Structure 1
Amino acid sequence: MAGEIAAARGTWLVRRREEWRQVGIVAVYWALLGAMFFAPAARNVLVFAAACYFSFLNSVVIHNHMHQGVFNNKRLNLMWRAVLSFGALYPASANIPAHNLVHHHFDADGDLDWAAPDHVRFRVNALNLLHFPNVAGPRTFAGVQRWAASSRHPTFVRQYRLETAFAFGLTGLLLAVDFWTALFFVVIPQLYGARCILRINLIQHDRVDVHSEWNHSRNFVGRGFNWIMCNNGYHTIHHNRAGMHWSELASAHEREVVPRMDPRLDEPSMVGYLLRTYLLRLRRPAVEPWRESGLDETLASRERRRAEADASALAESTLVMS
């Protein structure tokens, strides 16, 4: 018991000891970009592929950090956002309106989620996966700009601009020093991760019932996958309990979600799912009649989930709005 309490309290720098995994992911990503930019010997397919993959993981860290800050110190958390923003070439604070406030509500407020799967409608399903960032990206940033203009949170706007300046300023400096090297070995990995994190919205929510209390998300439950992904495969419990730390999602998924969710929404492998759904099957599958596992969805439960999401999003965004 004492060991669990100590682990929850974290260390002198990070809030939880598990956060060192996220810090390590970003450190490896920056090291890969730096190696390719400064060392010609590192400009090969293997290092490039690794940089693209860690760019995607950098965007996963953005998602987690914008729900719960990595560090104990507020100023350090804000600086960390700038570091993460460079890795994805977009301001990390955009996740507050786009993900925490809008996506976690789906279409509960009468406005379609900016990154909803319904934004793409190709009959050939592989085209939906390829094209989705081209639709969701512009919609998301247009929505963020509208939200920033209409909200009364100057601290958010200031932080958003600082992250934008750092991300594009440092990238622009690298382009000025060595344009083609920076373009191929820095900018392309940056964009790869940002586009892939948008595709996750399609992969985890396509053909599910977003109005259901338990069948609104697809989960990928492989242990190795979730170790490197910091448990982002457990998406149902994350939506229902957005304030829960990522390190607790696996056990909460087994305890709260598995007994209630349609078991078909637990996928053992994301790679297997992608191959089966987007490459080996030409047409987009029909919407499945997901069952509620014997539990009736009620207006009260739906309103409770929405209220919990509101409270969690408000608490998460306080860091830049206060």
Structure 2
Amino acid sequence: MSPSRPLEFARSTEKEPHLERARAILRAHPEIKDLCGPTPITALFVLLLVGGQVAIAWALRDSPWWALLATAWLVGAFIDHGLWVLIHECTHNLVFRSPRLNAVLQLFTNLPILFPAAASFRKYHLIHHRFQGDPELDADLATPFEAKLIGNSFWGKAFWELNFWAFQAMRVSRLKRIPLVDGWYIANFAIQIAFIAGVWAVLGPRALVYMFLASIFAIGLHPLGARWIQEHFLVKAPQETYSYYGPLNWVAFNVGYHNEHHDVMRVPWTRLPKVRQLAPEFYDTLHYHTSWTALWLKFLFDPSLSLYSRMTRTGGSGDGTVRAEDSAKAA
């Protein structure tokens, strides 16, 4: 195997790094605990972004196809990416104190994204934190078939980015220890079908096409899509989680602070930068990114960076037992 073109995943015998680092950080800086807790104002941003995306779709309902494409890439992708981040906030119960209210808001946040993803994300994402890198439990990892199919070429990786939503949906089939369907999943699916039908009936097919394009660009084939590369792709092994400290954090609700988030999950987006400010000795020594655009281009054109550029392990930070709370039950 050529080191410049990896053909298999990296492998670690260590536990995932965040649990032990979190303990060290909180021992050195117990004041960081004061940053934890929900931020209800996040719900206002949800309303603004959902309303804004629907309003843009209405404005474009009779527009030419080039206008739909351009607006989706230049504007809509940023809105949908923001909605993804706010779904993530709801997943960690960082908007309201009630898990049920967070789950309900999460379903509302999902509306303009079209794909019914909020309920399944709520379940699989928290397990990703505890079992980072475990192929049997971490939905953030590509399957070996997916990695081999996409390969190291520009065209393969561009195809993957354009269809990331589909590949992500297919990954859950390998996570056999985690039940997919529950009441929240069914509600999420039904609400999205009703929303899509309503948009088609009231605003027309072009409005729906705009929303679909914005959803695709928000997670791939766009500089914003580099966020999924930034978080855990190995650009400086053996470090396996990376933060982004660039200007797009201003419109991405500080989601770039990914090491900080994995270390102290109960800190909301409004206070994540403060974690780094209070504990610089833990973060300034880690490799980090300053440009999603540069990373996006590197991923597309550099054959040394591919879906194989991930660290894998068995067991994550625990003993391999999936607890009820790990599956993020909302009730």
Q: Common fold, TM-score beyond 0.5?
A: yes
1:291-306 residue pairs with structure 2 within 5 A? Answer: 306=317
1:168 aligns with 2:193: yes
Taking structure 1 as reference, are residues 168 and 194 closer, same or farther at Cα in structure 2, changes over 3 Å only?
farther
Q: Is the CA contact 2:178–2:327 (under 8 Å) kept in the aligned structure 1?
A: no
Q: Which runs of 5+ in 2 are unaligned?
A: 1-34
Is there any run of 5+ residues in structure 1 with no aligned partner, and where?
1-6, 150-155, 291-301
Q: 2:50 is matched with which residue?
A: 26
Q: Which amino acid is the alignment partner of residue 261 of structure 2?
A: H
- Residue 268, structure 1, aligned to residue 281, structure 2: no
Equivalent-residue separation in structure 2 for 1:130 and 1:103 (angstroms) = 27
Instruction: Give the Cα–Cα distance (whole angstroms) in 2 for the partners of residues 256 and 312 of structure 1.
Output: 31
Contact 1:120 1:128 in 2 (8 A): no
Equivalent position SS for 2:282: coil
Match of 1:137 in 2: 168
Higher share in helix: 1
Instruction: Tell me what 1:317 maps to.
Output: 328
Q: Residues 163-242 of structure 1 correspond to what in structure 2 (within 5 A)?
A: 163-176=188-201, 180-193=205-218, 200-207=227-234, 215-222=239-246, 224-242=247-265
In the TM superposition, what is the alpha-carbon distance from 1:317 to its structure 2 partner? 2.3
Q: Partners of 2:324 and 2:185 in 1: how far apart?
A: 17
Contact 1:90–1:167 (Cα < 8 Å) also in 2: yes
Amino acid at match of 1:219: S
Q: How many aligned positions are there? A: 286
In structure 2, the partner of 1:107 is: 133
Assess if the C-alpha contact under 8 Å between 2:241 and 2:259 holds in 1: yes
Report percent identity of matched pairs: 15
RMSD, aligned CA: 4.4
Moved more, 230-239 or 197-206: 197-206
The counterpart of 1:124, out of the listed 153, 156, 162, is 153
Instruction: Give 1:147 deviation, angstroms.
Output: 2.4
Residue 208 (structure 1) shift: 5.2
Q: Give the corresponding residue for 1:299.
A: none
Q: Displacement, 1:43?
A: 8.5
Give the whole-Å Cα distance in 2 for the aligned partners of 1:146 and 1:85: 25
CA gap 1:128/1:44 in 2 versus in 1, 3 angstroms: closer
Change (3 A) 1:140 1:69: farther
Aligned partners of 1:142, 1:236: CA distance in 2, in Å?
28
Looking at structure 2, the residues matched to 30 and 144 of structure 1 have their Cα atoms a distance apart, in angstroms, of 34
Contact 1:120 1:135 in 2 (8 A): no
* C-alpha spacing 1:75/1:266, structure 2 compared with 1 (3 Å): closer
SS in 1 for 2:266: coil
CA deviation after TM superposition for structure 1 residue 221, in Å: 0.3
8 Å contact from structure 1 (residues 137, 198) kept in 2: no
Q: CA deviation at 1:24?
A: 3.0
In the TM superposition, residue 85 of structure 1 has moved relative to its aligned partner by 2.1
Please state how far the C-alpha of 1:313 moved relative to its aligned partner: 9.1
| Aligned-pair CA distance for 1:178 | 6.2
Matches of 2:168 and 2:225 in 1, distance apart? Answer: 7
* Offset, 1:220: 1.0
2:74 pairs with 1:53:
no
One-letter amino acid of the structure 2 residue matched with residue 102 of structure 1: H
Task: Name the structure 1 match of 2:121.
Answer: 95
Q: Using the TM superposition, give the Cα deviation of residue 131 of structure 1 relative to its aligned residue in structure 2, in angstroms.
A: 0.9
Aligned 8 A contact 2:42 2:86 in 1: no
Q: What TM-score comes out, normalization by structure 1 length?
A: 0.69
1:297 aligns with: none
Secondary structure at the residue paired with 1:113?
Answer: coil
Change (3 A) 1:146 1:164: farther
Q: Do the aligned partners of residues 195 and 283 (structure 1) sit closer, same or farther apart at CA in structure 2, a change above 3 Å counting?
A: closer
Q: What letter matches 1:278 in structure 2?
A: F
Question: For 1:283, which of 295, 303, 309 is the aligned residue?
Answer: 303
Name the CA distance, whole Å, in 2 between partners of 1:30 and 1:20: 16
CA distance in 2, matches of 1:126, 1:257: 39
State the alpha-carbon separation in 2 of the partners of residues 23 and 230 from structure 1: 15
Judged with a 3 Å threshold, the aligned counterparts in structure 2 of structure 1 residues 60 and 315 are, in CA distance, closer, same or farther, namely: same
Name the amino acid aligned to 2:328: S
Structure of greater relative contact order (alpha carbons < 8 Å, 6+ residues apart): 2
State the SS of the aligned residue for 1:116.
coil
